[in-house]
């Protein structure tokens, strides 16, 4: 006699067999399907896209590198200009009444400016030289060169120490401002004289009250600076005002008591 328990076991066995047959059919169907991969066109398109991305990244990196180099060059040129202006101001404002190698107190000719300055640092007189320094600014091969000698009395054949203070300079011009001594009026009073600018300086025994330096440069264009001569005394003075009247313009004269001349 077949019991209910036997029927249940037989049904479970039939289910297992059916499941095994279904899985076997699925495996056979998968084996019959064709295998698929990337075609040659797809591979080429992918390579082109990757190449374009690489070129774009390289271009960005190159642009950033070039911008950094240009910025560093601009900063270096600006620092050189600022240092030159500071050096030139210190030199000119420290001009003293001492003849240089040309026999004049101040010499200027064809882009060459020469003078003797005071205030050359010599701590406790330890160095075998004075505090006076012969200085010359010369335009040479599109460079502004600062020359100086260790001693005021230059011996024949002695070579100066050269320092390039500014690159790209094609020309240097100068004008000199002088206020003559006051005139005496008929009543004995003192009448101030009118100062004037001059492009030439040939006086051997006096110094101007101010010097205007004009540099023609490749990068900065024309640079104009006006310096007051104080003989090394950095006392605040009335600024010189330049107008468009040429060499005979009449700027506000500097305080004569603080000028060397």
For the stretch 10-52, pLDDT in tens is 566 666 666 666 676 666 665 665 656 778 888 888 899 989 8
Rounded distance, CA 214 to CA 110, Å? Answer: 13
Question: Between these two residues, 251 and 124, which has the higher pLDDT value?
Answer: 124
Determine which of 17-26, 75-84, 199-208, 238-247 has the lowest per-residue pLDDT on average.
238-247
Rounded distance, CA 193 to CA 195, Å? Answer: 6
Residue 71, SS3 per DSSP: helix
Q: How far apart, in Å, are the Cα atoms of 200 and each of 107, 168, 205, 246?
A: 10, 25, 15, 13
| Torsion sign over Cα 153, 159, 160, 166 | positive
Contact yes or no for 153/135 (Cβ under 8 A): no
Contact yes or no for 235/188 (Cβ under 8 A): no
Q: What is the pLDDT of residue 233?
A: 43
Domains of the chain: 75-258 (3.10.610.10)
Beta bridge partners of 162: 147
């Amino acid at each position: 006699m077949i019991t209910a328990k036997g029927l249940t076991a037989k049904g479970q066995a039939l289910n297992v067999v059916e499941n095994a047959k279904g899985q076997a059919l699925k495996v056979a169907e998968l084996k019959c399907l064709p295998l698929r991969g990337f075609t040659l066109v797809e591979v080429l398109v992918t390579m082109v896209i990757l190449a374009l991305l690489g070129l774009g990244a390289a271009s960005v990196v190159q642009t950033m590198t070039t911008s950094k180099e240009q910025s560093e060059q601009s900063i270096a040129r600006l620092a050189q200009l600022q240092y030159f202006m500071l050096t030139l101001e210190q030199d000119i404002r420290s001009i003293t009444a001492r003849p240089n190698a040309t026999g004049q107190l101040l010499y200027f000719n064809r882009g060459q400016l020469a003078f003797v300055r005071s205030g050359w640092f010599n701590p406790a007189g330890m160095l075998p030289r004075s505090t006076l320094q012969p200085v010359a600014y010369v335009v040479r091969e599109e460079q502004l060169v600062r020359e100086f000698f260790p001693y005021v009395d230059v011996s024949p054949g002695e070579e100066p120490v050269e320092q390039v203070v500014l690159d790209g300079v094609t020309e240097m011009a100068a004008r000199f401002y002088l206020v003559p001594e006051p005139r005496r009026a008929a009543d004995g009073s003192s009448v101030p004289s009118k100062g004037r600018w001059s492009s030439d300086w040939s006086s051997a025994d006096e110094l101007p009250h101010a010097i205007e330096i004009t540099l023609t440069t490749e990068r900065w264009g024309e640079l104009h600076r006006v310096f007051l001569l104080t003989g090394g005394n950095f006392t605040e003075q009335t600024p010189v005002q330049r107008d468009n009247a040429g060499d005979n313009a009449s700027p506000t004269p500097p305080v004569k008591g603080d000028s060397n001349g």
